[in-house]
Amino acid sequence: MRPDPRRADQRRGGWPEIVRHRMDFANWLPRSVAAHREWTGRWPDFAAHPACAVDEERLGDAFAELAGRLRDTYPFFHPRYVGQMLKPPHPVAALGYLTAMLANPNNHALDGGPATAALEREVIEQLAAMFGLPIPFGHLTSSGTLGNLQALYVARESHPSAGVAFSADAHYTHARMCHVLNIPAYPVAVDERGRLDLAALEQTLRTGRVGTVVVTVGTTALGAVDPVHEILPLARRHGVRVHVDAAYGGFHKTIAESDASILDPAPWRAIGDCDSVVVDPHKHGLQPYGCGAVLYRDAEVGRFFLHDSPYTYFTSGELHPGELSLECSRSGAAAAALWLTLRVFPLTPDGLGAVLTPGRQAALRWAAELRHDPVLRLYQEPDLDIVTYYPAQPRTLTALDAASAALMTAGMTDTDPVYVALLRVRANDFALRDTGVTPDRPDARILRSVLMKPESLSATPELLFRLRELARKYSSGPDSRIGSVKAPRR
**What's the burial of 450, exposed, middle or buried (CB within 10 Å: 0-12/13-18/19+)?**
buried
Distance, in Å, from the CA atom of 91 to the CA atom of 216, rounded to the nearest integer, reads: 29
Are 142 and 160 within one domain?
yes
Q: What is the CATH number of the domain that holds 385?
A: 3.90.1150.170
Are 224 and 358 within one domain?
no
* Mean pLDDT score, 158-175: 95
- The reply to whether 83 falls in a domain is no
Last residue of a domain, one of 280, 310, 344: 344
SS3 for 450? strand
- The reply to whether 184 falls in a domain is yes
- The reply to whether 89 falls in a domain is no
Are 451 and 340 within one domain?
no
Are 127 and 267 within one domain?
yes
Q: How many CB atoms lie within 10 A of CB 48?
A: 8
Q: What is the pLDDT of residue 336?
A: 98
Last residue of a domain, one of 344, 375, 401: 344
* Mean pLDDT score, 252-277: 94
Are 424 and 288 within one domain?
no
Per-residue model confidence as pLDDT tens digits over 88-143? 999 999 999 999 999 999 998 888 899 999 999 999 999 999 999 999 999 999 99
Q: What is the pLDDT of residue 309?
A: 66
Are 356 and 229 within one domain?
no
Q: What is the CATH number of the domain that holds 113?
A: 3.40.640.10
Distance, in Å, from the CA atom of 396 to the CA atom of 319, rounded to the nearest integer, reads: 60
Detail the DSSP E strand segments found in 427-484.
443-450
Last residue of a domain, one of 281, 311, 344: 344
Are 340 and 414 within one domain?
no
Are 289 and 417 within one domain?
no
HSE, side-chain direction, 13 A CA sphere, residue 101: 12
**What's the burial of 390, exposed, middle or buried (CB within 10 Å: 0-12/13-18/19+)?**
buried
Q: How many CB atoms lie within 10 A of CB 191?
A: 16
- pLDDT confidence of 326, banded at 50, 70, 90? confident
- The reply to whether 48 falls in a domain is no
Q: What is the pLDDT of residue 288?
A: 97
* Mean pLDDT score, 244-273: 94
Are 331 and 384 within one domain?
no
- The reply to whether 481 falls in a domain is no
Per-residue model confidence as pLDDT tens digits over 49-102? 999 999 999 999 999 999 999 999 999 999 999 999 999 999 999 999 999 999
- The reply to whether 4 falls in a domain is no
- Domain housing 187: 98-302+322-344
- The reply to whether 10 falls in a domain is no
Domain count for the chain:
2
* Mean pLDDT score, 475-485: 44
Q: What is the pLDDT of residue 313?
A: 62
Q: What is the pLDDT of residue 480?
A: 32
Distance, in Å, from the CA atom of 219 to the CA atom of 469, rounded to the nearest integer, reads: 29
HSE, side-chain direction, 13 A CA sphere, residue 23: 11
- The reply to whether 183 falls in a domain is yes
Are 340 and 362 within one domain?
no
Are 159 and 195 within one domain?
yes
Are 397 and 275 within one domain?
no
